Amino acid sequence: MNTLQDTPRANRIHIGLFGKRNSGKSSLINALTGQETALVSEVAGTTTDPVYKPMEIHGLGPCVFIDTAGLDDEGDLGALRIRQTLKAMERTDIALLVCRDEQIGPEMEWAGQLKEKNIPTIWVLNQADKLEDPLATARAIEKKCGQVPLIASALNRQGMDDILRTLVHKLPDASMEKGIVGHLVSEGDTVLLVMPQDIQAPKGRLILPQVQTLRELLDRKCLVMSCTTDKLPQMLEALARPPKLIITDSQVFGTVYTQKPETSRLTSFSVLFAQYKGDIDYYIQGARALSALTEKSRILIAEACTHAPLSEDIGRVKIPNMLRKRFGQGIQIDMVSGTDFPEDLTPYDLIIHCGACMFNRKYVLNRIEAARKQQVPMTNYGVTIACLQGILDKIDY
């Protein structure tokens, strides 16, 4: 469980370990982390559902190791386990493909899937302590897969430094280095956060996107102020000059837009996370599909959280109400949450996704790619609301 001091799992590099049963994936995680993180057993198939272990490793920083079931699992239950492993692949930033000998037929198939998903892959020849000639085995593997595997022994902790160094070199591009607001602010800028406190923000707490945005603004040495929506006029009067940027909840876009100073730029937490976690350009393009909706259209709303429905819920209540008011009560709206996401998206005229603060960027981009391949428009909460309120061209992202 994360605490307030932890880096959220969604912001960590996800390192997935894939391989046959008893190839030593769990032992390798324990050796890499220096902890008894994963359950180790001589019994094949001990790891069932993927196990996610957040760690802090020197050189890598905050990361998550994903221990998966064997890719050669058998039977009906094995098929279910492999399906869960495929879902774990959707979250993987870097893959360790673990083998124990030169018989790598199944590994080659999985390497192809990892390549299709543009996941950097490191081959690891594990259990070197059991091989007569690890170098000869490594050369045989190289001839088949085209990559020299790293030779390792989780038992003897051989090769752990080599794996960690290679992981650092394979770290994803700095696609998230600009951060949540880095492209919009500079040191010393005044930023105003307008945050309505409703049922979605339990008393005494802020929601995660607000917390992460606030922290980043402080790290960037901005001058940060905050207020609730009803106190916006008094806050603006109290400031010596208009704030450079106003960030608000998408649900009050219209209210804040009508009151903001002309020189102040405006965006929302959801819109910021659209570019931070997803593909903002694709979301903007997808919002154009709103103009073509009718009462016969079918919409999929996807939410990362799995909380119980709330009376003021933006995804389950407010956006559906806005859509029905604009396009008719007959419009069909389906809702999914958490990791539930249909493989077949073609029945839908539009997908509206949340800001995805609970998902890592790789997972969101895989969902976007699925929509793109099936030619289904996709956008997000904040972009949708701005579009429906006619101010999409007046907000920043």
Match 């009050």 to its residue by tokens: 252
| Whether 124 and 16 share a structural domain | yes
Same domain, 282 and 328: yes
Domain match, 255 and 330 both: no
Residue of 35 and 39 predicted with greater confidence = 35
pLDDT grade for 4, boundaries at 50, 70 and 90: very low
Domain end call among 271, 287, 319: 271
* CATH code for position 23: 3.40.50.300
Residue pLDDT, tens place only, 140-153: 999 999 999 999 99
Spatial separation of the C-alpha atoms in residues 104 and 236, rounded to whole Å: 65
Q: Is residue 177 part of a domain?
A: no
The CA–CA distances, whole Å, from 42 to 39, 68, 156 equal 10, 16, 17
With respect to residue 178, please indicate whether it lies within any of the assigned structural domains: no
DSSP 220: T
Backbone angles phi, psi at 151, to 5 degrees: -90, 130
Distance, CA of 63 to CA of 225 (rounded, Å): 32
Residues 137 and 31 in one domain: yes
The two three-digit tokens of residue 27, written as one number:
């032992």
- H-state helical runs in the chain: 25-33, 75-89, 105-116, 134-145, 160-169, 208-219, 232-238, 253-259, 269-277, 280-287, 319-327, 361-373, 381-388
Structural domain count, the chain? 3
Residues 77, 160, single domain; the answer is yes
185 falls within a domain: no
- Res. 42: pLDDT tops 70: no
Domain edge (last residue) among 106, 135, 169: 169
145 with 209, same domain?
no
- The CATH number for 214's domain is 3.40.50.11420
Whole-number Cα distances in Å, 360 to 4, 97, 276, 355: 18, 21, 10, 11
Of 63-77, 336-350, 378-392, which range is least confident?
Answer: 63-77
Domain membership of residue 127 as a residue range: 9-169
How far are the Cα atoms of 9, 23, 390 from residue 157, in angstroms, in the given order?
27, 15, 59
| 215 in the same domain as 292 | no
Inside any domain, residue 26: yes
* Residue pLDDT, tens place only, 60-112: 778 899 999 888 888 888 888 888 898 899 999 999 999 999 999 999 999 99
* Same domain membership, residue 290 and residue 264: no
